[in-house]
């Protein structure tokens, strides 16, 4: 089966491509390389350099490669940035997904996997958060994913689309070959590891006055390889059962920013100086997933649920790739 992966040169996309190739799928990566890296594209995947704002290029790609399914990762993904620049998210993320879905519809391609987010849930009534929780996005980023999920609802209802919306909590960690390298970096774990590598002086903690045991935000970190596995299971299920689904993906265990830093200190043996600064916009106190539904329906079981293992894998990758994908 052939799968088109938008954003397949990015962090999560590159690991999903690696797993798809290992599971014998044919993979076409569609990426404008604005955030992704050529070196992050698996050598067995075809790379099409293209932009989702251009329906003609999407159309030509679908015409040429005839994928049976699409996995969509290419988007802006930063909560803080989305608060500062809402239209990158509310217009571009949404338009780009609309272009992709419309072209898929024109080509009769109906299987779609959306990289969605825990930021759909700003004020959950119950923690851990289940798929039954009301959607109240926490930022323009979360809102953009909620809007795309709504597009999918209508395409499922009237146009035969079958989709999986996978709502990631905090993707982290690395495989041996592929890891996290954003420019500029703004995610907690890679930043903490950059301090350990001596590339930064200290880590800034965004607020310690949240309603959590140590005052810093609590998140559910999930290994990127476990996320990737969930995508393959979801695709198999769409094809086999023909039924759309939405799943939350996390380990069900929350760690505070301070706990992440402390764990990284142990793993790297570095002091990792930290300083508390002002809150970042759009961050809820606690986000922890209940992933019972995907465990039960698709038999998904995380292989690396422990924070230590997750940070250890990221540390290994950072040491092996001290300049990220540059010069590789």
Q: Which residues are catalytic?
A: 141
* Span from 38-46, 181-189, 233-241, 320-328 in contact with ligand UDP (CB under 6 A): 181-189
* Span from 19-27, 57-65, 186-194, 295-303 in contact with ligand UDP (CB under 6 A): 186-194
CA gap 173, 11 in Å, rounded: 10
Q: Does 143 bind ligand UDP (CB under 6 A)?
A: no
CA gap 222, 232 in Å, rounded: 16
CA distances in angstroms from 127 to 18, 79, 130, 189, 305, listed in the order given? 33, 20, 8, 23, 18
* Binds ligand UDP by CB under 6 A, chosen from 283, 304, 318, 325: 283
Give least dist CB 36 to ligand UDP, A: 18
CA distances in angstroms from 102 to 10, 29, 223, listed in the order given? 23, 19, 32
* Binds ligand UDP by CB under 6 A, chosen from 32, 170, 244, 313: 170
Q: Does 205 bind ligand UDP (CB under 6 A)?
A: yes
* Binds ligand UDP by CB under 6 A, chosen from 219, 223, 258, 318: 219
* Binds ligand UDP by CB under 6 A, chosen from 57, 94, 164, 217: 217
Q: How many residues bind ligand UDP (CB under 6 A)?
A: 15
Q: Does 307 bind ligand UDP (CB under 6 A)?
A: no
Q: Does 188 bind ligand UDP (CB under 6 A)?
A: yes
HSE-CB of 99 using CA atoms within 13 angstroms:
22
**Which residue of the chain is nearest ligand UDP when measured via CB?**
217
* Binds ligand UDP by CB under 6 A, chosen from 85, 204, 270, 309: 204
Q: Does 148 bind ligand UDP (CB under 6 A)?
A: no
Residues 37-56 that bind ligand UDP (CB under 6 A): none
Q: Does 191 bind ligand UDP (CB under 6 A)?
A: yes
Give least dist CB 283 to ligand UDP, A: 5
């Amino acid at each position: 089966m052939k799968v088109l992966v938008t954003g397949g040169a990015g962090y999560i996309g590159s690991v999903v491509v690696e797993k798809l190739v290992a599971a014998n799928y044919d993979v076409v990566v569609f990426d404008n390389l604005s955030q992704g890296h050529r070196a992050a594209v698996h050598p067995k995947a075809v790379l099409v350099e293209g932009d989702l704002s251009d329906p003609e290029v999407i159309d030509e790609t679908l015409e040429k490669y005839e994928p049976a399914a699409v996995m969509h990762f290419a988007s802006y993904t930063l909560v803080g940035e989305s608060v500062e620049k809402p239209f990158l998210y509310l217009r571009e993320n949404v338009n780009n997904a609309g272009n992709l879905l419309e072209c898929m519809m024109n080509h009769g391609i109906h299987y779609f996997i959306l990289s969605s987010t825990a930021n759909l849930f700003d004020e959950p009534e119950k923690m851990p958060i289940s798929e039954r929780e009301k959607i109240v996005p926490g930022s323009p980023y979360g809102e953009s994913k909620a809007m795309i999920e709504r597009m999918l609802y209508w395409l499922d209802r009237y146009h035969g689309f079958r989709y999986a919306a996978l709502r990631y909590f905090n993707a982290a960690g690395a495989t041996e070959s592929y890891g996290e390298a954003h420019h500029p970096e703004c995610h907690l774990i890679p930043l903490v590891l950059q301090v350990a590598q001596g590339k930064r002086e200290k880590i800034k903690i965004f607020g310690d006055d949240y309603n959590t045991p140590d005052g810093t935000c609590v998140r559910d970190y999930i290994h990127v390889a476990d996320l990737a596995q969930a995508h393959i299971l979801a695709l198999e299920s769409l094809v086999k059962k023909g039924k759309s689904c939405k799943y939350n993906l996390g380990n069900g265990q929350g760690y505070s920013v301070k706990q992440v830093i402390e764990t990284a200190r142990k793993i790297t043996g570095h002091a990792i100086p930290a300083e508390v600064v002002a809150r970042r916009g759009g961050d809820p106190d606690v986000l922890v997933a209940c992933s019972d539904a995907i465990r039960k329906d698709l038999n998904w079981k995380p292989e690396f649920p422990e924070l230590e293992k997750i940070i250890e894998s990221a540390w290994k990758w950072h040491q092996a790739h001290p300049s990220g994908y540059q010069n590789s």
